[in-house]
């Protein structure tokens, strides 16, 4: 189990670095959007490249942030049902659903996204809109997002199995504040969640 937890720790480290970095894509997208609107109103000029850059950035934040969202346990859940289950039952549900549903789905999307990206890259596919951007970077982000999600799903399975076996403490303790606000407010939040040292 120690080797698997080390693998999980490495995956989580990469996920945290990428997840925190892509947060800035939202700010950049907002600035691009505001700048594009200002130029269009002030100078009666617009560019398809600016418009497409906005959805590149939003898409990048969504796809590349999915693994970090999973690690932080912030994906949408049916809380009205899960809240009625015991902690151990929820752990088992997470473990089984990750194995049966999340991992096969993420792996399938990686398999399908690779030729989707490769054809676009080799052909130098560009936007059908005049003055638009090349398309392969956007398609690469789709591939990269599912690769990261696949890896993080494996990490979550390892951690959930370790929790059920009593090898580590709970990986996602309850939040008193919304998770992202809690993270920004906590000066000691430099540790990778779910990797407390030693058994209970």
- Domain range for residue 32? 2-75+85-174
pLDDT of residue 182: 54
Asked, for residue 70, whether it belongs to a domain, the answer is yes
Asked, for residue 187, whether it belongs to a domain, the answer is no
**C-alpha dihedral sign at 181, 183, 188, 193:** positive
Tens-digit pLDDT profile for residues 3-25: 999 999 999 999 999 999 999 99
Between 85 and 137, residue with greater pLDDT: 137
Asked, for residue 193, whether it belongs to a domain, the answer is no
Encode burial over 185-199: b for 16+ CB neighbours within 10 A, e otherwise.
Answer: eeeeeeebbbbeeee
Please say if the pLDDT value at position 146 is more than 90.
yes
- What is the C-alpha separation between 114 and 143, in angstroms, rounded? 6
Region 151-158: what's the mean pLDDT?
Answer: 95
Contact 133, 56 (CB under 8 A): yes
Asked, for residue 100, whether it belongs to a domain, the answer is yes
Asked, for residue 123, whether it belongs to a domain, the answer is yes
- pTM of the entire predicted model: 0.80
Task: Look at residues 25, 10, 163, 144 and name the one whose alpha carbon lies nearest to residue 95.
Answer: 163
Asked, for residue 31, whether it belongs to a domain, the answer is yes
User: How many domains does the chain fold into?
Assistant: 1
Asked, for residue 189, whether it belongs to a domain, the answer is no
Contact 74, 152 (CB under 8 A): no
Asked, for residue 180, whether it belongs to a domain, the answer is no
């Amino acid at each position: 189990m120690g080797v698997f937890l080390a693998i999980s720790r490495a995956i989580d480290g990469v996920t945290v670095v990428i997840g925190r970095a892509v947060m800035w894509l939202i700010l950049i997208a907002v600035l691009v959007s505001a700048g594009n609107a200002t130029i269009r109103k002030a100078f009666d000029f617009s560019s398809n490249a600016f418009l497409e850059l906005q959805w590149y950035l939003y898409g990048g934040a969504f796809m590349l942030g999915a693994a970090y969202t999973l690690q932080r346990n912030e994906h949408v859940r049916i809380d009205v049902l899960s809240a009625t289950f015991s902690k151990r039952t929820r752990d088992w549900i997470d473990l089984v659903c990750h194995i049966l549903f999340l991992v096969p789905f993420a792996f399938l999307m990686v398999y399908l996204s690779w030729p989707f990206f490769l054809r676009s890259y080799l052909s130098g596919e560009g936007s059908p809109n005049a003055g638009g951007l090349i398309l392969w970077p956007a398609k690469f982000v789709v591939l990269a997002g599912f690769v990261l999600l696949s890896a993080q799903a494996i990490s979550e399975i390892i951690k959930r199995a370790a929790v059920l076996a009593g090898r580590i403490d709970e990986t996602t303790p309850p939040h008193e504040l919304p998770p992202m606000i809690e993270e920004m407010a906590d000066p000691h939040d430099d540790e990778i969640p779910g990797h407390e040292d030693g058994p209970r």
